[in-house]
Amino acid sequence: MSRDTIFSKIRSAISELDCKAEHPGFEDDTIVSSSRLGSDSPKAAFKRNFEAVNGRVMNSCDEVVALLHEQGQTHGYCDPELMESVGQRLVDAGLEVETSYDRERYDDYAFGITRATGAIAESGSLILDDAKTSDRLAALSPWVHVAVLRESEILRTIPEALGRLNTSRNIIWATGPSKTADVEGILIEGVHGPGEQIALFVD
Amino acid sequence: MVNRQPIDVYAHDIGEEKQASVLSGSASSTEKRLSALFNDYDDPNALRKLAGGIKDHTLHHLDRYLEQTEASLKRNGGHVHFADTADDAREAVLSILKERELTRLTKSKSMASEEIHLNDYLTEQGIEVLESDLGEFIIQLDGDTPSHIVRPIIHKNRREIARSFQRGGIATDYNDDPETITRRARVHLREKYMQAEAVITGGNFISAESGRVVLVTNEGNSRFGMAPSRVHIALVGIEKLVPTDRDLAVFLNLLGRSATGQQLTVYTEFISGPKDEGQPSGPEEMHVVLMNNGRTDVLASNCREILRCIRCSACQNVCPVYRQASGHAYRSPYGGPVGAVLSPILFGDKFPELADLPKASSLCGACNEVCPVDIPIPDLLLRLRDKAKREHIPQPGDLPMAPFATLATSPAIWRTAMTMSKAMNHLPIHVAPVRPLQDWLGQRTLPDWHGGDFRKWLKSRREN
Ligand code: SF4
């Protein structure tokens, strides 16, 4: 019912128009911010922009361990496929790592380590894709989220990243840690999602 | 009492503390927007025009894009529901929930749901709906309504919030530190997320080509609402479509910057169906309710440009009237310049009650200059004033025009009036016992009278 009504109302409304606007069209360059992108490497641009929104870029598991020790975090989750390259290093450093996420105990996980499928240099965003994220909740509920990726997976611009959206049904661009300014405009991080967002490069 | 415009009454009664919150909040957002756009682009104005052009194109071909959207959503495995009226939309949501016996929901901020008072309706039906955006959560706790599109509690300060938390049982003690407030909400809400069976979200955009529903949040509340839920319901206005994924580049870049001065909002989610197979967390079903609720009336009106709106709030932040009066003065979910245009037509049956809104503007043009989709808001306000005139809706502050007509058609009387009126500069006319005059002056200050000077000047010119 509603469907037909809506379509007939739309058609009658637009039939009154004298002329219908064409799509203006645009070049990618118009919408890419060249000052954000800079002239350095994609990784350097990603780092600059990601750090500007309080994300942390790390290049070794030791750096992750150091941060977790510093923050007193001892227990977390790691995607089973990343155990060999990342999780095991944390275990060796004395941290407890689970490879399955039990939602009954969501509060037990202080960190979560999952795959990112890429990143965007221009905006400093991580690309988290449902098909490659071992568990959505494990990437979301812990205070520290470590997104693991390779330098070669960084895309330069937002239009490029939109052009590469795949068939995955849930894709998230995470541009820094979760935040709010609802209370008197004061910036507070870690509202519902991670308070620490880390991009860990394994190359 | 002087018969003021309703919006002036609000501005008058709002109280200093609230006014200070609104003023500082909106002023800082305006500044951030400006620096984000001008640091990042050589010509941000060209982008606003481009975005407006893409939206116009989409709206002018809305039948085609809506059909394409429906097909794309279905292809992705989503269920599509059309809702012509607010009632239809509420019923569509309810029947999805009822059929599956779902009674616990979280909801991430959605203006469309505010429009149709969805929370009240579902609560009456015995369904528990919890707002998960921090600001909306506090609004719900207080039984208040949002006063800003992006920052719903812009009118509240930390002390009021700390008291609400105590009153609402979120905290046992009073603590007004913003970080503590946020942590307390985090703990409270994640327990609720984990128990929820379904989640209701809005949708910032839908790409007709791919059927991706795009949601942006800074807090991650829609992400968290979705991850443990079985069913996702997105309630989206039919004007939210864009033709292709590529077009999203224009809108995402403008939305974050215009709303909060961010290049991108923290979480940009592209949702095109239920969770992937193999993914342990996430909804098994996705429903999209495509809602009209007056949008086609706006499309048929001479103010259809307002449908380009991407709800960024830049026009609210910059508006001198909004800053003084706050969002509640606009008596609908949409406050500020966008609301002054949208509400009277969107809620057409209420036009006479809301017809004063288009008058609550000095037509300074700031709203048009900041609008990321280049909506000519001042022009639209004038068109609506004209509509109110044509429909003979009397407005407080309207001056009877008959005396002016007599003056203007008789040169002799005009001359005398011009000279005599000089005396007005010395008379306390604001206390004159003439009702329409009082109403009019209640909202304005008269400059000194210079009437007659033109004739004098012309005469002296002829003589020389
Ligand atoms: S009218 Fe323009 S400036 Fe105002 S909220 Fe809508 S898009 Fe933003």
Distance CA B405, CA B329 (A): 34
Q: Is residue A90 a part of any domain in this protein?
A: yes
Which of A108, A133, A192, A197 should be substituted to probe chain B, the one whose Cβ sees the most B Cβ atoms within 10 Å?
A192
CB contact under 8 A, A137 and B227: yes
Backbone angles phi, psi at A71, to 5 degrees: -90, 0
Same domain for B282 and B417?
A: no
Number of compact structural domains in chain B: 2
Evaluate whether A138 touches A90 at the Cβ level (below 8 Å): no
Q: Please name the residue whose Cα sits nearest to atom 8 of ligand 1.
A: B312
Instruction: Say yes or no to pLDDT of B41 above 80.
Output: yes
CB contact under 8 A, A193 and B238: no
Helix H or strand E encompassing B407 = helix B402-409
Q: Between A and B, how many CB-CB pairs are < 8 A?
A: 254
Q: Is residue B396 a part of any domain in this protein?
A: no
Mean pLDDT of the region B116-144: 94
Query: What is the ipTM metric for this complex?
Result: 0.97
CB contact under 8 A, B84 and A6: yes
> A45 lies in which domain range?
40-201
Q: Is residue B230 a part of any domain in this protein?
A: yes
Q: Which residues of B touch A130 (CB under 8 A)?
A: 275-276, 279, 282
Q: Is residue A88 a part of any domain in this protein?
A: yes
Number of compact structural domains in chain A: 1
Helix H or strand E encompassing A119 = strand A118-120
Q: Is residue A31 a part of any domain in this protein?
A: no
Closest CA to B211 of B271, B156, B138: B271
Of A63 and B30, more confident: A63
Q: Is residue B14 a part of any domain in this protein?
A: no
Give me ligand 1 centre to Cα B314, in Å: 6
CB contact under 8 A, B57 and A141: no
pLDDT of res. B443? 56
pLDDT of res. B260? 93
Of B136 and B448, more confident: B136
Smallest Cβ distance to A5: which of B84, B132, B153?
B84
DSSP secondary-structure letter at B427? Answer: S
Evaluate whether B248 touches B207 at the Cβ level (below 8 Å): yes
Please, what's the b/e burial string for B52-88 (b: 16 or more CB within 10 A of its CB; e: otherwise)?
A: bbbbbbbbbbbbebbebbbebbeebebbbbbbbebeb
Q: Please name the residue whose Cα sits nearest to atom 7 of ligand 1.
A: B309
Q: Choose the weakest-confidence range: A165-179, B129-143, B355-369, B445-459.
A: B445-459
Q: Is residue B107 a part of any domain in this protein?
A: yes
CB contact under 8 A, A180 and B280: no
Q: Which residues of A touch B181 (CB under 8 A)?
A: 183
- Name the residue of B252, B303, B311 to mutate for ligand 1: max ligand atoms within 8 A of Cβ: B311
Please give the number of the atom of ligand 1 that sits closest to the Cα of B341.
Answer: 1
Q: Is residue A18 a part of any domain in this protein?
A: no
Q: Which residues of B touch A122 (CB under 8 A)?
A: 263
Smallest Cβ distance to B28: which of A158, A163, A185?
A185
pLDDT of res. B432? 58
Q: Is residue B362 a part of any domain in this protein?
A: no
Instruction: Say yes or no to pLDDT of A190 above 80.
Output: yes
CB contact under 8 A, B266 and A174: yes
Distance CA B56, CA B54 (A): 5
- The CATH number assigned to the domain holding B187 equals 3.40.50.10420
Per DSSP, the three-state class of B110 is coil
- The CATH number assigned to the domain holding A94 equals 3.40.50.10420
Distance CA B171, CA B461 (A): 78
Mean pLDDT of the region B392-417: 62
Which of A26, A34, A169 should be substituted to probe chain B, the one whose Cβ sees the most B Cβ atoms within 10 Å?
A169
User: Residue B310 is encoded by which pair of tokens?
Assistant: 């991407």
Q: Is residue B310 a part of any domain in this protein?
A: no
Same domain for B421 and B277?
A: no
pLDDT of res. B159? 93
Evaluate whether B305 touches B56 at the Cβ level (below 8 Å): yes
- Band (pLDDT 50/70/90 cuts) for residue B458 is low
- At A182, the amino acid letter reads D
Domain end: B268, B293, B318, which one?
B293
> B202 lies in which domain range?
41-293
Smallest Cβ distance to B88: which of A2, A28, A133?
A2
Q: Is residue A69 a part of any domain in this protein?
A: yes
- Per-residue model confidence as pLDDT tens digits over B336-387: 999 999 988 888 777 788 888 888 788 899 999 999 999 999 999 999 999 8
Q: What is the DSSP string of B340-405?
A: HHHHHHHTGGGHHHHTTGGGS----SHHHHH-TT---HHHHHHHHHHHHHHTT---TTPPPSHHHH
Tally the C-alpha atoms within 13 A of residue B445's C-alpha that lie toward its C-beta: 2
Q: Is residue B239 a part of any domain in this protein?
A: yes
Q: Is residue A129 a part of any domain in this protein?
A: yes
Please give the number of the atom of ligand 1 that sits closest to the Cα of B377.
Answer: 1
CB contact under 8 A, B151 and A192: no
Whole-number CA gyration radius for chain A = 21
Domain end: B276, B293, B310, which one?
B293
Give me ligand 1 centre to Cα B377, in Å: 9
Q: What is the DSSP string of B272-331?
A: -SSPPTT-SSS-SEEEEEEE-TTHHHHHHSTTGGGGG-----HHHHH-HHHHHH-GGGG-
pLDDT of res. B1? 43
Mean pLDDT of the region A22-36: 96
Helices B134-142 and B158-167, axial angle in degrees (round to 10): 60
CB contact under 8 A, B223 and A172: yes
Q: Which residues pair with B201 in a beta bridge?
A: B234
Per DSSP, the three-state class of B237 is strand
Q: Is residue A49 a part of any domain in this protein?
A: yes
Q: Choose the weakest-confidence range: A28-32, B217-221, B350-354, B377-381.
A: B350-354
Give me ligand 1 centre to Cα B393, in Å: 27
Mean pLDDT of chain B, nearest integer: 87
User: Residue A94 is encoded by which pair of tokens?
Assistant: 């004395």
Q: Is residue A5 a part of any domain in this protein?
A: no
Q: Please name the residue whose Cα sits nearest to atom 6 of ligand 1.
A: B309
| CA distance to A58, B44, B52, B342, B371, per residue, from B306 (Å) | 45, 20, 10, 7, 11
- Band (pLDDT 50/70/90 cuts) for residue A53 is very high
CB atoms within 10 A of CB B390: 8
CB-based pocket (< 6 A), ligand 1:
B 309-315, 338, 370-373, 375
Query: In which residue are the tokens 């999780």 written?
Result: A87
Smallest Cβ distance to A188: which of B153, B182, B252?
B182
